[in-house]
Chain A
Amino acid sequence: MDSQFLVSLVLILATFGLYIGIAVYNMARQTSDFYVAGRNVPAVFNGMAIGADWMSAASFIGMAGTVMLLGYDGLAYIMGWTGGYLLLTFLLAPQLRKSGRYTVPEFIGDRYSSSTARLIAAVATIIISFTYSIGQLSGSGVVIGRLLEVPTAVGTIIGVVLIAFYSALGGMKGITWTQVAQYLVLIIAYLIPVIFMSLQLTSNPIPWLSYGQIIGELQQLDQQLGVSEYVVPFTEATKWQFLALMFTLMAGTAGLPHVIVRFYTVSTMKAARWSGAWALLFIGLLYLSAPAYAAFSRFILMTQVAGSSIADLPAWTASWVNTGSLSVADTNGDGILQWEEIVISNDIVVMATPEIANLGVFVIGLMAAGAMAAALSTAGGLMIAISAALSQDIYYRSINPKATESQRLLVGRSSIIIATVAAGIVALNPPGAITQIVAWAFALASGTFFPALILGVWWRRANGPGVIAGMLVGLTVTLTYIFAAKFGGFTILGIIDTGARF
């Protein structure tokens, strides 16, 4: 055991203890606590909770790397995901909050006066959230596994037990306040390394202002090397693909049931609007920093790694080469590592930064805690959404409308545990890469909920049979396409099963 291991372990355990403590302190005592946190979460804190709920392990670990690898084309993710909050806050959240329900399927069922619509929406919620949570749980397995030096499967099990325990206990009320804590942990962990990196490279501590200068230098380096320039648009795909991807990400964001339900936890429509504004500000802190990470990392790779002798690479590269995330084969055998000979996985850009900038064991441990916070907070929100669909929309509204408060709480709690364990079992042997799984969930959300909700709020004549048909078709087409592309090798126009990469 070295000191790095100990520091990381202590930090991780301290944050886990904090989350459990918060859940115990905010234990849900009645169904309104359990589903909507008693509807009295202040807008600023709800904004933080939405941020943590929404930003998954993939955002935290993978996004900066994607922006670095794709150049301008990666910015579709930045604009698409933040733009989703415009649609959500302007077109959906306050109106849904006004309806005064507990869940998204309940709103759909009552708006279209159809139990069938409600049940289909509940099943869609379960499928979307379940798919999404598989990605989060296997992500947390990778982080815990790497950190504690145990197999990924053991890491996944640790994550499952933790989430099942604190979300079953605290319900939405507990989850809300753990998500606030998790937001603070993840944003501090994300900002400290990029601020230090900015100081070291540009002697300006504000990365958002300083990375423009680095981008200018990158343009010159690219020209010298004759590679396609970092800022040149549409090098990876066409303009139309960029626009389509951006729109899908926006619509998918606005249709994710576990995010929408967070807007139900505040007291008024006014508070729902403010929650949306605060949420995007808090999310923006991370999304505005990701391109800075990307520019700094590319600059370091181009100036400090590329061009050096293969026997004399910076020390931090060794551990990432060992995990297979970085490949530095000297393919033309001249003893010098060229820029073209570096192959880098998008997962290491953020995680390797503390080592690159030589920030010491504490910051490395903090990064691990931040990545865990991102995975756990999203998984917790998803579990509440699944549990609400099972216990409120299906059990209480359709099977046993006379259920007492304590019966409903019991069903809610047990469905969280069952759902977490089931998702954990699938996550032990995930059906695809983390980013791929999350993309499926997005496609499903934009194909089912987004149109049903937008039309339900804004078009008086939208009716029950129409929305049932719409959701069924959306669900069937999307699922069929995912399965066909994944297992049957069937694609239309070469669009693979992951139109989006997260």
Chain B
Amino acid sequence: MRKIDKKQADAYFRTRTTLVTIYLLIGFSASFGVVMFAEELSGFSVNGMPFHYFMGAQGAVLTFIILLFVNAIVNDRIDKKFGLDQDLEDKK
């Protein structure tokens, strides 16, 4: 990887770590969080199913997919902002 200023490298690393932490929190509350409160959340329906079942069968998976795509897009922007064009680098 191209040599970049240490301060900038730290900022880059921090931004990415913060984002990953947020994504994981969202992902875990959609799965583990909903399971923890499954009984309480079964009162209303989404897409014809009780909410806890919907989250298990569809909601959590959709959340995961969206998070991964958001991560890919946002990370590309961050790379650009920090001037790291990865298409030219990392090739070994």
**Which A residues fall within an 8 A CB radius of B?**
39, 67, 72, 75-76, 78-79, 82-83, 85-86, 89-91, 97-98, 100, 208-209, 211-213, 215-216, 231-234, 239, 242-243, 246-247, 267-270, 273-274, 276-277, 280-281, 284, 287-288, 291
Contact = CB atoms under 8 A, between A and B. Distances in A.
Contacts of B20: 90-91
Given A209-B47, A212-B47, A231-B42, A86 B57 contact: no
Contacts of B27: 83, 86
A269 B68 CA distance: 14
Interface of B: 1, 20, 23-24, 27, 31-32, 35-36, 38-39, 42, 45, 47-50, 52-54, 56-58, 60-62, 64-65, 67-69, 71-72, 75-76, 79, 86-87, 89-92
A72 B65 contact: no
Given A212-B48, A239-B36, A239-B38, A268 B68 contact: no
Contacts of B89: 268
13 contacts: A72-B56, A75-B57, A83-B60, A86-B23, A90-B71, A209-B47, A233-B39, A239-B36, A270-B76, A277-B68, A284-B64, A284-B65, A288-B61
Given A72-B38, A79-B35, A268-B89, 17 more contacts: A72-B53, A75-B53, A79-B31, A79-B60, A82-B61, A90-B23, A91-B20, A209-B47, A211-B48, A212-B49, A239-B36, A273-B68, A273-B71, A281-B68, A284-B64, A287-B61, A291-B58
A273 B75 contact: yes
A203 to B, nearest CB: 15
A233 B69 contact: no
A234 B35 CA distance: 10
Contacts of A213: 48
Contact of A270 (B24, B68, B86): B86
Interface centre among A67, A76, A268 (most CB of B within 10 A): A268
Main secondary structure of the interface of B (DSSP, over half): helix
Contacts of B76: 270
B34 to A, nearest CB: 9
A110 to B, nearest CB: 13
Given A243-B36, A270-B76, A86 B64 contact: yes
A334 B35 CA distance: 41
A79 B36 contact: no
A207 to B, nearest CB: 11
Contact of A246 (B32, B61, B62): B32
Nearest 8 interchain pairs by C-beta: A212-B48, A75-B56, A277-B68, A291-B57, A233-B38, A270-B86, A100-B92, A268-B86
A78 B53 contact: no
A83 B48 contact: no
Contacts of B36: 239, 243
Looking at B47, B65, B91, which has the most chain A CB atoms within 10 Å of its CB? Answer: B65
B53 A86 contact: no
Contacts of A75: 53, 56-57
A355 to B, nearest CB: 25
